[in-house]
Amino acid sequence: MTAATKRLFIKTYGCQMNVYDSERMKDVLAPLGYSSTDTPEDADLVLLNTCHIREKATEKVFSELGQLKRLKQASGGKMLLGVTGCVAQAEGEEIMRRQPAVDLVLGPQAYHKLPELIARVHRAANERLETEFEVEEKFDALPIDRQVDGPAAFLSVQEGCDKFCSFCVVPYTRGAEFSRDVDTIVAEARGLVRKGVREINLLGQNVNAFHGRAPALDAGEDWSLGKLIRHLAKIDGLDRIRFTTSHPRDMDDDLIEAFGDTEKLMPYLHLPVQAGSDAVLKAMNRGHTAERYVKIIERLREIRPDMAITSDFIVGFPGERDQDFEDTMSLVETIDYAAAYSFKYSRRPGTPAADMFSQVPEEVMNERLQRLQALLREQQTRFNASQIGKTLPVLVTGTARNEGQMAGRTPYLQATHFSGDESLVGQIVDVTMTTASLNSVGGELANQPEPVR
Ligand code: 5AD
Ligand code: SF4
C-alpha cells in the first residue's frame, strides 16, 4: 500500500454510471497516494465527472470551472484540475479553449489512463486531452480490487448505446454498446461480497441489452442479463440484485421471468418510457409503442404482483401536441408508478431531434411538466403510504440524519429510517412501517437483528 499523501476531490454529476466511474477513478488513483476529501479547498487533484445529457447539466460544469480556477490560483497553481465524463468527451476541445486552468480532460473510456495523464501534466507536456473510445481496454486495465463504501455497490456490466433515440447524446458520448465478459463481472462481484457488500446494482446505459462473453467453463453462446443474474444469485453472501437502466425493447421473457424465479432479484424495475403517445415515441426513435410498454409491465406484475415500476419522461419533445401529452398522462394513470423522473425536452446539438421543426414553446413545456410531476408525486406518495403497516426487509446502509436513527432501503428501493444503532449497518432487518412521505418511509424494528456474521 502506498501511504495516502495527496488529496483527491471528485464531484460527480448525472447518472449512476458516473457514480460508478468516480469510484473506479478513486481505485485507480489510490496506488498513487491519493485519498478522498470532501471539499475542493484542500485538494491536490480536483476532478469534475460531468454529464452532458441536458443543456443545464453542461452549463453547470463551465460555471463550476470558473470557481475552481480561483481555488487553483489560491493554491499557487499546485492544484490539478481535471474534467472527466460526457462533457469531456463531447466538448473536450471547447473546455480547454474556454478554461485554460484545466490541466486534463478525459472521456469515460480513458479513466485507466489517469495516472499516465497526470504524469504527463507534471512533466508539463502539452497533452491534456484523452478521449479515445477503447471501452474494452478500460475494463481490462482497471484494478480488480475495489474499495467499498457500505453494503450496497454498483457494478458496471455494460456501457454505451446503439439505440440512437433522437433526443439523446449518449450514443455519441459513451460510444457503441459493449458488454463485459461474464468471468470478470463474477470476479468483481465476489470481490465486493468478500468486502461486505450484500446488494449489487448491475449498471449499464442499456443494461438489459447485455450479451457478455460466456464464462470459461461454459464457452458457449453469449449470456443474457437474465442468465447473468441467475448465476450471480448463487454467490453466498450476496442477498440482493438490481439492475439499471433498461430499455423496453430489450425486456425479453427470460429477464421478465427472472423476477419470478430468482428471489434475490428485487421487485423493482426502472423502465423509462419517455412518452405515452405512439407518434412521439416514433419521432423519438424508441422502437416500441405505448401498448407494448404496458404489456411488459402487466406481464411483470403477473409474475411479481408487488413489482415497483419507475420511469423517465420527457415533455415537450418537438411536435408534441396537447393530445400527445394527454396520452402520456393516461399512460401514467395506467401504470401507477412508484417513482419517476421527468424533464423538459432539452435541445442537444448534433442529435436528430435538434433539427426537427415545431419545437414546443417554453411555457407549454412548463405547464405540461407541472401537471405530469403533480400526478407522479401523488402516485409516489401513495406508493410509499401503501407500505404503512407492512413489515419489510431493510438493508441498513448507514446512519440517518436524525439522532438515533438508521437509514436503509426496502426491496422497492425506498429510502427508510428507523430507530436503531450503528451495529446494524450491513444487516438486513425487518422494519414495520409506520410513516411515509413523498421521499421516504419510516418505521420500527420488528424483531431482534440477526447475529453478526
Ligand atoms: N432532453 C431532456 N431529457 C433527456 N433525457 C435524455 N436526453 C434528453 C434530452 N435531450 C432524459 C431521458 C433519459 C434520462 C436519463 O434523461 O428521459 O431517460
Ligand atoms: Fe439515450 Fe435512448 Fe440510448 Fe437511453 S436508449 S441512452 S435514451 S439513446
Q: Residue 338 and residue 418: Cα distance in Å, rounded?
A: 21
> Residue 332 C-alpha to ligand 1 middle, in angstroms?
17
CB-based burial label for 253 (10 Å; 0-12, 13-18, 19+): exposed
> Residue 347 C-alpha to ligand 1 middle, in angstroms?
10
State if residue 387 touches ligand 2 by the CB under 6 angstroms criterion: no
State if residue 247 touches ligand 2 by the CB under 6 angstroms criterion: yes
> Residue 350 C-alpha to ligand 1 middle, in angstroms?
15
Q: Which residue from 159, 168, 177, 274 has its CB within 8 A of the most atoms of ligand 2, so it is best to mutate? A: 168
Q: Which atom of ligand 1 is nearest to the CA of 347?
A: 10
State if residue 170 touches ligand 2 by the CB under 6 angstroms criterion: yes
Specify the pTM.
0.90
Could you say which ligand is closest to the alpha carbon of residue 158? 2
DSSP-derived 3-state class of residue 79: coil
Which stretches of 386-417 are DSSP H helices?
none
> Residue 122 C-alpha to ligand 1 middle, in angstroms?
38
pLDDT computed for residue 128 by the predictor: 62
Q: Which of 80, 118, 122, 87 is nearest to 102 (CA)?
A: 80
DSSP-derived 3-state class of residue 232: helix
The answer to whether 59 and 94 are in contact (CB under 8 A) is no
The answer to whether 86 and 53 are in contact (CB under 8 A) is yes
Are the folds of 3-135 and 391-445 the same? no
What are residue 405's phi and psi, to 5 degrees? -110, 140
Which residues does ligand 1 sit against, CB inside 6 Å?
A: 53-54, 167-168, 272, 274, 312, 314, 343, 345-346, 348
Task: Please give the chain's pLDDT, 453 residues, in tens.
Answer: 456 789 999 999 999 999 999 999 999 998 889 999 999 998 999 999 999 999 988 889 999 999 999 999 998 888 999 999 999 999 999 998 999 999 999 999 888 888 888 888 877 655 566 766 666 667 776 766 777 889 999 999 999 999 999 999 999 988 899 999 999 999 999 999 999 999 999 999 999 999 999 998 887 889 999 999 999 999 999 999 999 999 999 999 999 999 999 999 999 999 999 999 999 999 999 999 999 999 999 999 999 999 999 999 999 999 999 999 999 999 999 999 999 999 999 999 999 999 998 889 999 999 999 999 999 999 999 999 999 999 999 999 999 999 899 999 999 999 999 999 999 999 999 999 999 999 999 999 997 555 555
Q: CB within 8 A of 378, min separation 6: which ones?
A: none
State if residue 11 touches ligand 2 by the CB under 6 angstroms criterion: no
Q: Which CATH superfamily is domain 137-385 in?
A: tm_1862 like domain (3.80.30.20)
Residue nearest to atom 14 of ligand 1 (CA): 312
Q: Which of 320, 250, 309, 252 is nearest to 281 (CA)?
A: 320
How many CA within 13 A on the CB side of residue 46? 24
> Residue 176 C-alpha to ligand 2 middle, in angstroms?
11
pLDDT computed for residue 451 by the predictor: 57
pLDDT computed for residue 133 by the predictor: 62
Could you say which ligand is closest to the alpha carbon of residue 172? 2
> Residue 164 C-alpha to ligand 2 middle, in angstroms?
6
| Region for residue 48 given its phi and psi (left: phi exceeds 0; alpha: psi -120 to 50; beta: otherwise) | beta
The answer to whether 387 and 414 are in contact (CB under 8 A) is yes
Q: Which atom of ligand 2 is nearest to the CA of 171?
A: 8
The answer to whether 209 and 250 are in contact (CB under 8 A) is yes
> Residue 54 C-alpha to ligand 1 middle, in angstroms?
7
Residue nearest to atom 12 of ligand 1 (CA): 312
Return the C-alpha cell found at 23.
Answer: 469510484
Number of residues written out for the chain: 453
Evaluate the omega torsion of the peptide bond into residue 397 and state whether it is cis, within 30 degrees of 0: no
Rounded (10°) CA dihedral 186, 189, 194, 199: -140
State if residue 165 touches ligand 2 by the CB under 6 angstroms criterion: yes
As a CATH number, domain 391-445 is 2.40.50
State if residue 275 touches ligand 2 by the CB under 6 angstroms criterion: no
Q: Which residue from 17, 163, 166 has its CB within 8 A of the most atoms of ligand 2, so it is best to mutate? A: 163
CA distances from 376 to 196, 284, 360, 424 (A): 35, 22, 22, 33
pLDDT computed for residue 124 by the predictor: 63
Q: Residue 111 and residue 135: Cα distance in Å, rounded?
A: 10
The answer to whether 288 and 281 are in contact (CB under 8 A) is yes
CA distances from 111 to 67, 139, 198 (A): 24, 9, 27
> Residue 335 C-alpha to ligand 2 middle, in angstroms?
21
Q: Which of 107, 270, 111, 110 is nearest to 203 (CA)?
A: 270
Chain centroid to CA 132: 22
Q: Which residue from 167, 174, 271, 341 has its CB within 8 A of the most atoms of ligand 1, so it is best to mutate? A: 167
Q: Residue 250 and residue 226: Cα distance in Å, rounded?
A: 11
Residue with cell 448525472: 14
> Residue 171 C-alpha to ligand 1 middle, in angstroms?
12
> Residue 284 C-alpha to ligand 2 middle, in angstroms?
10
For the chain, what is the radius of gyration of the CA atoms? Answer: 23
* Domain 3-135 belongs in CATH node 2.60.120.260: no
| Region for residue 155 given its phi and psi (left: phi exceeds 0; alpha: psi -120 to 50; beta: otherwise) | beta
pLDDT computed for residue 219 by the predictor: 79
Annotated domain spans of the chain: 3-135, 137-385, 391-445
Residue nearest to atom 2 of ligand 2 (CA): 165
What are residue 429's phi and psi, to 5 degrees? -120, 155
Residue nearest to atom 13 of ligand 1 (CA): 312
pLDDT computed for residue 148 by the predictor: 83
